[in-house]
Structure 1
Amino acid sequence: MKHLLLLLFALTATTLSAKPREIRFKILETTDVHGNYFPYDYLNQQPGEGSLIRAYSFVKAQRQLMKPQHVLLLDAGDILQGQPSAYYYNFMDTVSQHACASVLNYMQYDAATVGNHDIEAGHAVYDRWTKECRMPMLGANIIRTSTGQPYWRPYTIIKKDGVRFAVLGLLTTGIPNWLPENLWSGMRFDDMVEVARKYMPEMRRQADVVIGLFHSGVGRENATGTKNENASLQVAQQVPGFDLILCGHDHRKANRKIANVNGDSVLVLNTGANAHFVAVADLVVEKNGKKVSVKSATGHLEDIDQWEVNPEMLAHFQPQIDAVKKFTQEVIGHNATELTTRPAFFGPSAFVDFIHQLQLKITGAQISFVAPLSFDARIPVGTIRVSDMFNLYKFENMLYVMQLTGQEIKNFLEYSYAGWTQQMSSPSDHLLLFNDRTINSPESWQRLRTPSYNFDSAAGILYEVDVTKPRGQKITIKSLATGEPFDLKQTYRVAVNSYRGNGGGGLMTEGAGIPREQLVKRVVWSTDKDLRYYLMQEIRQQKDIAPKALNQWKFVPENWTTPAAQRDSITLFQ
């Protein structure tokens, strides 16, 4: 008995004398990489900025500084579209391991969340890719309709130096509004707040630290309602229990603390896009016996362009880099006219009208809708290569023909130009609708209130846009381009990309006034390949192209809009 008492005394004394241990962790996030795996600009055939190979130099340095068990590396989605390197392994070389999976495996990511542009690549691509990735793929609110269970893991538990991290993956719920159903067949996308609230109790039972890894932007302050596109702030505020939220999707950098409904502070980070930055969260965790608590969380965004390319990783992936170079350097035609998106903001342009003409030719439609999908792109006079197609057409959209009435076409255009132009009340006003809060942003595209990929113009009709008139009264359609009368009650065949045809940007639903569930019934024809493929085939067939603006519409009054366009061009692109 005496020996037992002495043993108990010794154990008690040891427990009482043990001091809490502080452990420092770095949580690193990439997001919206959009195929920028390699430090090469395939569009301009020159060394490129950003890239995961450059980011790896920073990641490797942090692992050496902190020891690997004190570093977590995570990705928040949209990594499978946007660069020729992604397109090549999505659709051209489908036998080799996908370069994206190889890169993520090489860098030893701990987990990743799926993004909407990953879904846009289609089942064949993302199902293969996720099987090739060695880290857990997450998506708690991406539900398999046949079972009611998540299509991918809802969350994962990562153990580092005795500390358990739960990482919950969530995806923006807008996919059905943007993408054809065949790309996400068998899935539904539940509200982020509701799903986060569902999994929080079980994650807190299993983990010491809970991290949100969301492909959804920060969003608006005090947002309400369900299924918001950018809902990370909403989750942070309304679902207590998160120690850190890493997000993406909207390409807007963020580093801020959010107070939740319990009054606790949550660190929210967003890196922007294209692997130019890595989000860094510095967590100090106190471990006192079995009890673990987060003592502090601070963050910053590391500028990856200041880091050198990692030479070992570059050498390892040189064969893949060269394979994509060979693909993008293929000559498909010759261009006699420089194509640039800049004039498209201020009137008809050769860049946009070239796509209009091809859409009309491919589909046989009467009218075409097109927006400048690349904010500031240029294809010079001379040889046209495959790489130029990624400047001409940024995303892998299909092409639809939809049936719209003349009134719906007018309403569609009213909505487009209302988000594009302001109502001018004097010649000194802006023509474009700028965002007053961000008009001086170093990121030119953020100066506009509406993303320019929603600036749809039309071809096949002759019309004017009176910028002195209010929303709903700007558009006057004079006739079809053939000279035939335009009838608001008649039904027309309209060529439009699948993003727009599925309701993306709200032009079909809020603008034309077509209920979302009715959109699919309006589609009378669709391509089976992406529009970029058909553009490449058309240029190969023509060999020599000399695009010109169709000049089928204009801004009026011209004595106001012409000088305003000159001023606004400087404001937008300076």
Structure 2
Amino acid sequence: MNIRTSLMALLCTGSLLGAYASTTEEITIKLLETSDVHGAYFPYDFIARQPLKGSLARVSTYVNEQRKQYGDNVLLMDNGDILQGQPIAYYYNFIDTASTHVCAAMLNYMKYDIGNMGNHDIETGHAVYDRWASQCSFPVLGANIIRQDTDKPYLPPYHIFEREGIRIAVLGMITPAIPSWLPEKMWSGLWFEDMETCARRWVETIRETEHPDVLVGLFHAGPEGNLLDNVVENASEAVARNIPGFDVVFMGHDHRRLCKKIQNVAGDSVLLINPANAARTLADVTLKINRKDGRIVSKSVQGRLADVTSLPTDPAFMETFTPQYQATLDFVSRKIGDIRNTITTQDAFFGPSAFIDLIHQLQLDITGADLSFCAPLSFNAQIKEGDIYMSDMFKLYKYENLLYTMRLTGREIKGFLEMSYALWTNRMQSPDDHLLLLNDKDEGFGRLKNPSFNFDSAAGILYTVDVTKPEGEKITITSLADGTPFDLDRTYTVAVNSYRGNGGGDLLTKGAGIPKEELANRITFSTDKDLRYYLMERIEEVGTLDPHPLNQWHFIPEEWVKPAAEHDWKILFE
């Protein structure tokens, strides 16, 4: 066959035409995100001693199925707040510090591709999160966590992945409000840059140097740009809207499920997605990229929230980490004392509570302060009559806060309480009104309009709360608990947790009116370890607890409060 004949044959079969024709290929990439896992590694609640709906063990099952379908085109990401919440995290943060951190071992086992820092990860302190990040076999990001000595990022700001020739840039950031909540010792040598300022600079750098095809934000912050001490705490949506280039922004921090598309300032669509918390839901994003002649001609981004609570656990995961499970079970099963009656935070919303007043009393005993401030950190926690185990300490005190003693004037104490009860209680106009400040439906903090961890009461003083009055006129303080007259101009020592003492919840800044920069000067004492440790130590020392309400404050008018409290209790707990 001559050349002419061969050429004609190829043209007839289409082989030559196919070789010269332009072809379009579609590439599918899966982006999966967990966020705010809060120690839910196993499908077991080591605090309540009952099964958990979510867990990394169930997430592992979902991820395995995705990898069977999409292979290496699955990118698995975690968005922070994974080192706090369940006793297993606490155990490997502070008790067994010689082993590889169980969280790093699990994420490595599941082949996570990238991580990001959360505020509760920072709360564990340098020794913990530095050790954990170094043991992770993937980069842990933090573009706006800046070293004070060099003004350079403390952690990698971004990372580039390449899948089938598609370049994917992931930029990681954290809410910059850390100094408003955590003692400086937890983040010594660091400062936290505004998210939008940071993102604008790094997006430009990424574009110029990396030329990505897809830009992903992995931001430990919620969508709304609420202002906290002149810092925008939740700026994820603002970044996505105001800085062109992002295809998808993964969020966390606020524990709210979200999946929606917005339009940025350039008119392009950006997907915002948040899987909420406790490894019950996974953010599942599908990227479909069409490429022609080596050039991307179209992209589509679709997201959904995948519920994993009905999935079986990954048996290989469970078997691999059985020793860590057993070590944690032994830890939480240790008896540390006993208690003569059942206590619950349910009471704390409606008046003096044995549960909260036990913490007040322990804080006063530990510090020797004149007063104590404390709030119900858990909405519905209970410690039952009988033996107290280590697991109960995580019910009694949810977070790894330190304990401070601070100097406050009587007037500042009153302002603090005025704001607290304004967040907590409705201004009643009639006996038929709600006592509590409620939403019409479950949203955010359930039926509560504001988070209960900002509902501080006081011990060490006698006072009333008039729920018919506006903020500024609700609180009447008559005396100290020993009968000494209360003086608005006198300075008192007050026991508070470090979250509150650093300005968390704004009760000291907006309520008491103390400038944020002055708070550190008001601290006269700080524990070295978390408050839970000292509460446990004190209970072991006392042996048997007989908690009861101190009855040092009450709501008025009582004839209005009693029926309103009964009605609101049913709304919250029935």
Is the CA contact 2:225–2:233 (under 8 Å) kept in the aligned structure 1? no
Is the CA contact 1:283–1:294 (under 8 Å) kept in the aligned structure 2? no
Deviations 1:157-183 (A, max 9, x none): 011222111000010011000000011
How far apart, CA to CA, are the structure 2 residues paired with 1:524 and 1:324? 35
Report the residue type matching 2:321 in the other structure.
F
- Tell me whether 1:140 sits opposite 2:143 in the alignment: yes
How far apart, CA to CA, are the structure 1 residues paired with 2:27 and 2:146? 36
Q: Match of 1:153, SS?
A: coil
Is the CA contact 1:25–1:71 (under 8 Å) kept in the aligned structure 2? yes
Is the CA contact 1:41–1:49 (under 8 Å) kept in the aligned structure 2? no
Change (3 A) 1:88 1:347: same
> What is the TM-score normalised by the length of structure 1?
0.95
Q: Match of 1:431, SS?
A: coil
Change (3 A) 1:527 1:80: same
> Of residues 399, 406, 428 in structure 2, which corresponds to 1:402?
406
Q: Match of 1:353, SS?
A: helix
- Tell me whether 1:94 sits opposite 2:88 in the alignment: no
How far apart, CA to CA, are the structure 2 residues paired with 1:225 and 1:342? 31
Residue aligning to 1:112: 115
Residue correspondence of structure 1 range 339-354 to structure 2 within 5 A:
339-354=343-358
Is the CA contact 1:464–1:555 (under 8 Å) kept in the aligned structure 2? yes
Quote the offset at 1:224 in angstroms: 12
Change (3 A) 1:489 1:16: farther
Deviations 1:135-189 (A, max 9, x none): 1010101101111110000000011222111000010011000000011011110
Quote the offset at 1:299 in angstroms: 1.2
Residue aligning to 2:475: 475
Quote the offset at 1:226 in angstroms: 6.8
Is the CA contact 2:225–2:232 (under 8 Å) kept in the aligned structure 1? no
Quote the offset at 1:16 in angstroms: 5.6
Deviations 1:418-450 (A, max 9, x none): 1111211111111111134xx234x7x332221
Report the residue type matching 2:214 in the other structure.
V
Identity percentage of aligned residues: 55
> Of residues 406, 417, 432 in structure 2, which corresponds to 1:413?
417
Quote the offset at 1:459 in angstroms: 0.2
Residue aligning to 1:519: 519
Q: Which runs of 5+ in 1 are unaligned?
A: 1-5, 7-11
Residue aligning to 1:506: 506
Is the CA contact 2:177–2:228 (under 8 Å) kept in the aligned structure 1? no
Residue aligning to 1:369: 373
> Of residues 421, 434, 443 in structure 2, which corresponds to 1:430?
434
Residue aligning to 2:450: 450
- Tell me whether 1:49 sits opposite 2:49 in the alignment: no
Is the CA contact 1:204–1:210 (under 8 Å) kept in the aligned structure 2? no
Is the CA contact 1:192–1:227 (under 8 Å) kept in the aligned structure 2? no
Is the CA contact 1:144–1:186 (under 8 Å) kept in the aligned structure 2? yes
Change (3 A) 1:224 1:95: closer
How far apart, CA to CA, are the structure 1 residues paired with 2:360 and 2:194? 37
- Tell me whether 1:540 sits opposite 2:540 in the alignment: yes
Report the residue type matching 2:224 in the other structure.
G
Quote the offset at 1:383 in angstroms: 1.1
Is the CA contact 1:209–1:294 (under 8 Å) kept in the aligned structure 2? no
How far apart, CA to CA, are the structure 1 residues paired with 2:170 and 2:572? 39
Deviations 1:505-528 (A, max 9, x none): 000001100000000000011111
Q: Match of 1:305, SS?
A: coil
Quote the offset at 1:465 in angstroms: 0.5
How far apart, CA to CA, are the structure 2 residues paired with 1:556 and 1:16? 86
Deviations 1:456-509 (A, max 9, x none): 000000000001001111000011110000000000000000000000000000
How far apart, CA to CA, are the structure 2 residues paired with 1:293 and 1:202? 24
Residue aligning to 1:391: 395
Deviations 1:94-127 (A, max 9, x none): 0000000001100111111100000000000001
How far apart, CA to CA, are the structure 2 residues paired with 1:128 and 1:178? 22
Q: Match of 2:408, SS?
A: strand
Quote the offset at 1:295 in angstroms: 2.3
Residue correspondence of structure 1 range 143-542 to structure 2 within 5 A:
143-205=146-208, 206=210, 207-220=212-225, 227-292=231-296, 295-436=299-440, 439-441=441-443, 445-542=445-542
Report the residue type matching 2:339 in the other structure.
N
Deviations 1:327-361 (A, max 9, x none): 00001111111111111011110000000000000
How far apart, CA to CA, are the structure 1 residues paired with 2:131 and 2:451? 32
Report the residue type matching 2:447 in the other structure.
R
Quote the offset at 1:293 in angstroms: 5.4
Is the CA contact 1:285–1:296 (under 8 Å) kept in the aligned structure 2? yes
Is the CA contact 1:32–1:77 (under 8 Å) kept in the aligned structure 2? yes
How far apart, CA to CA, are the structure 1 residues paired with 2:307 and 2:50? 21
How far apart, CA to CA, are the structure 2 residues paired with 1:167 and 1:256? 19
Quote the offset at 1:15 in angstroms: 7.9
How far apart, CA to CA, are the structure 1 residues paired with 2:298 and 2:556? 60
Residue aligning to 1:9: none
Quote the offset at 1:570 in angstroms: 1.8
Report the residue type matching 2:169 in the other structure.
A
RMSD, matched Cα: 1.9
> What is the TM-score normalised by the length of structure 2?
0.95
How far apart, CA to CA, are the structure 2 residues paired with 1:533 and 1:454? 22
Residue correspondence of structure 1 range 9-48 to structure 2 within 5 A:
17-48=21-52
Quote the offset at 1:47 in angstroms: 2.9
Quote the offset at 1:14 in angstroms: 6.9
Quote the offset at 1:291 in angstroms: 2.2
Deviations 1:270-317 (A, max 9, x none): 111110111111111112233235522111111111110110110000
Change (3 A) 1:88 1:56: same
Report the residue type matching 2:136 in the other structure.
C
Quote the offset at 1:70 in angstroms: 1.6
Q: Match of 2:494, SS?
A: strand
Q: Match of 2:309, SS?
A: helix
Report the residue type matching 2:190 in the other structure.
M
Deviations 1:216-267 (A, max 9, x none): 011159x899731111111111111000010100101101111111111111
Deviations 1:390-414 (A, max 9, x none): 0110000000000000000000000
Quote the offset at 1:48 in angstroms: 2.4
Quote the offset at 1:13 in angstroms: 7.2
Deviations 1:62-95 (A, max 9, x none): 111222x221100110001111010000000000
> Of residues 81, 84, 87 in structure 2, which corresponds to 1:81?
84
Change (3 A) 1:573 1:291: farther
How far apart, CA to CA, are the structure 1 residues paired with 2:57 and 2:486? 54
Report the residue type matching 1:507 in the other structure.
L
Q: Match of 1:446, SS?
A: coil
How far apart, CA to CA, are the structure 2 residues paired with 1:70 and 1:131? 25
Q: Match of 2:203, SS?
A: helix
Report the residue type matching 1:361 in the other structure.
D
Q: Which runs of 5+ in 2 are unaligned?
A: 1-6, 8-15
How far apart, CA to CA, are the structure 2 residues paired with 1:224 and 1:197? 21
Is the CA contact 2:37–2:81 (under 8 Å) kept in the aligned structure 1? yes
Is the CA contact 1:353–1:459 (under 8 Å) kept in the aligned structure 2? yes
Greater Cα shift, 334-343 or 498-507: 334-343
Quote the offset at 1:204 in angstroms: 3.0
Residue aligning to 2:73: 70
Is the CA contact 2:258–2:275 (under 8 Å) kept in the aligned structure 1? yes
